[in-house]
Structure 1
Amino acid sequence: MKNIKTINDFNFKNKTALIRVDFNVPINNAYQITDDTRISYSIPTIQKIISEKGKIVLLSHFGRPKGIPSKILSLKFLIPFLYKKFKLSVNFCENCIGESVEKKVSNLKNGEILLLENLRFHKEEEEENENFAFNLSKLGNIYVNDAFSVSHRFHSSITILPKFFKKKCIGFLMEKEIQFLNKFLSGKVKKPITILLGGAKVSSKIKIIENFIKFANYILIGGGMAYPFIKINGGKIGNSIFEKNKKIEKTIIKILDKYHKKNGTLFFPKDVIVADSFKNTANTKIVPINSIPYGWMGLDLGPNSIKYFCNIIEKSKTIFWNGPMGVFEFHNFSLGTRSIAKAITNATKKGAFSLVGGGDSIASLKMEGCEKKISYLSTGGGAMLESLKNKMLPGIKAIIHK
């Protein structure tokens, strides 16, 4: 953090802050926002600049339009919502570059906010295009990156745009994310430390296991991630998800031999609910995780596993969770994930520090109405995972003053 300037290092009076936010929020069919965490977390940054009589130009993407403008992916629907959130009127611009945009920006008064149209309506945004970034740079005096969740992307507004600014910094959202994740990576947190990793792919999290296993007390591996470990260790996993990857298999063997046998940090489900097909109405039964019959697949934690994992969470002082423990979008296979969400909430209530990230994990917290009872919800899924691999995100690297 030493070489990274934050918005506290600048005074924004009479300045135009060009803020890269991530307002790519989930919505339902009626265009109602179902999770406004990213917008809520951006408010302190916006308030600070407004309070100093600065002007704000907001840059964001929404969806995957692949360079083609589309009414259904326009950011315009956000205007009434932002008005309620910021308690200020927010202007909208139908494009994000060009003379008409520059004119609107030049007419901004101190304390005003302008939201520009979806960056990804221009294919150049995803191509690290210098010319596109230069045109964006004409719209502000100070560049602010407050979009942690896309700071792992090599996109024009993330990695190239900062090059055109002498004054560049991160916002409060970015600062918080970096601080909390660095805290976890340092291992300088209250023990026992418990890491819960779920989801389908072990490849996206194997490096995180390697980093955490050196200092975590418990690493609980559930969901689809557990089955490669069980199979490689000689168990039968039936038709459960198994990611074939020779490199990953070698890493799993190394982790099991070098670390797990030495200090026993890894913990796996004892039993699982298996199904004879991948649907909510499938036939089910409970079996030990290492004895899943052929033709059956593990889709959720079994009752013994839930109790086992929740007992570990209960005695933890620091908890990190990413990824569901089963196919929680199917109601009949959601109990494991929902039970974990409740257990983390209860541990937090008793004084543990909890950090949860990833859309599915946060969605399950919302199902239980306990998302506000967690110490910190990370706004980034992919960005968070990249950070926890001990990598500096490209978006942070682009801000560093040399």
Structure 2
Amino acid sequence: METLPSVKDLSVKQKTVLLRTNYDVSLKNGEVTSGTRIDESLATINYLFGQQAKIILLSHLGRPEGKVNPGLSLKPVVNYLGQLLKKEVPLFSTINEIDKNQPMVMLENLRFWSGEENNDLNFTKSLANLGDFFINDAFACSHRQHASIVGLPQFLPSALGLDFLKEVEVLSGVRENPRRPVTLILGGAKEDKLEVMEKLLDWANAILIGGKLSQLINRSSPTKVIMACLNPDGKDITLESVEKFKKIIVQSGTIVWAGPMGYYEDEKWSMGTREIAKAIIGSGA
């Protein structure tokens, strides 16, 4: 595998680093309900702290479409992160307000600015002016042509974060030498997963589709593509679909799962996601 540039390859000691993370997490009543993505960013954050670097965190949350939406503020994220690190993480609502003398700060939801998704040159430059280096630790976002993903590397020395590199290593191993049969499970509502399905169609032995994604796929898809049915409310897959998926999961040698089966944040609609997770754990894959 080609050697990718790592944060450890850069001379970040006592420098200011723009760290692009993926803190697009689930919220309920103004609190983070699943902090796994935040937890996984700590490897890079702690490395940078060890280098006495100052960190400016960049992330998006949801789809505010270039407008300020208080319900999609990153405030719950900095609260969660502050508890993990046992230190306050200031959140700034404008680029000009950012205090670069703080050990670590976060800029508000990048998608509050239309320039993020438009990859606007002026917006990118205003971000780049904040730091000396750029680190991308947002593996799941890196297919997007957004300012904080593809724009910043044009202006700052750049590399990948430790969690990003870990994801690449794991997926490369799975892709190159999987235990057969391979089952790919896709869920959620993001249509870009359909592109993933197309690219992995020949590689996977079975592709299981749940969540709202199952409503977006042509029912005449190849036989290896198996779509769940949703409950009448459309917020979870049916028990019959769970049982159908389980029969395939239990026979799998390798399982790659991306996206929930329903609106799992609410207990009423968590059955499908929970049962599929239990089946995967019990499969031995």
Alignment TM-score, normalising by the size of structure 1: 0.59
Contact 2:183 2:208 in 1 (8 A): no
Equivalent residue letter for 1:300: T
Larger Rg: 1
Aligned to 1:144: 135
| Distance (Å, rounded) in 2 between the aligned partners of 1:163 and 1:95 | 22
Aligned to 1:131: 122
3-state SS of the aligned residue for 2:179? coil
| Distance (Å, rounded) in 2 between the aligned partners of 1:334 and 1:72 | 22
- What fraction of aligned residue pairs are identical, expressed as a percent? 35
3-state SS of the aligned residue for 1:83? helix
| Distance (Å, rounded) in 2 between the aligned partners of 1:162 and 1:174 | 16
Within a 5 Å distance, the mapping from 1:169-248 to structure 2 comes to 169-186=159-176, 188-197=177-186, 208-209=196-197, 211-216=199-204, 218-223=205-210
1:216-271 CA-to-partner distances (Å, cap 9, x unmatched) read 4x4053548998xxxxxxxxxxxxx5756xxx95xx3xx45xxxxxxxxx2758xx
1:99-152 CA-to-partner distances (Å, cap 9, x unmatched) read x43xx21x34xxx11212232332222211111111111111110011223222
Give the count of matched residue pairs: 284
Aligned to 2:21: 21
3-state SS of the aligned residue for 1:57? strand
Please give the root-mean-square deviation of Cα atoms over the aligned residues, in Å. Answer: 3.6
Within a 5 Å distance, the mapping from 1:151-170 to structure 2 comes to 151-165=142-156, 167-170=157-160
Aligned to 2:46: 47
Aligned to 1:86: 85
Q: Residues 339 and 171 from structure 1, CA distance in 2 versus in 1: closer, same or farther, beyond 3 angstroms?
A: same
**Structure 2 unmatched ranges of 5 or more:** none
Aligned to 1:9: 9
**1:190 offset after TM fit, Å?**
2.5
**1:61 offset after TM fit, Å?**
2.5
- Which stretches of structure 1, 4 residues or longer, exceed 6 Å deviation after superposition? 224-227, 272-275, 326-334
| Distance (Å, rounded) in 1 between the aligned partners of 2:213 and 2:107 | 43
| Distance (Å, rounded) in 2 between the aligned partners of 1:311 and 1:66 | 40
| Distance (Å, rounded) in 2 between the aligned partners of 1:199 and 1:77 | 22
| Distance (Å, rounded) in 1 between the aligned partners of 2:154 and 2:2 | 19
Q: Residues 90 and 318 from structure 1, CA distance in 2 versus in 1: closer, same or farther, beyond 3 angstroms?
A: same
**1:83 offset after TM fit, Å?**
1.7
**1:2 offset after TM fit, Å?**
2.6
Contact 1:199 1:323 in 2 (8 A): yes
Matched, 1:117 2:108: yes
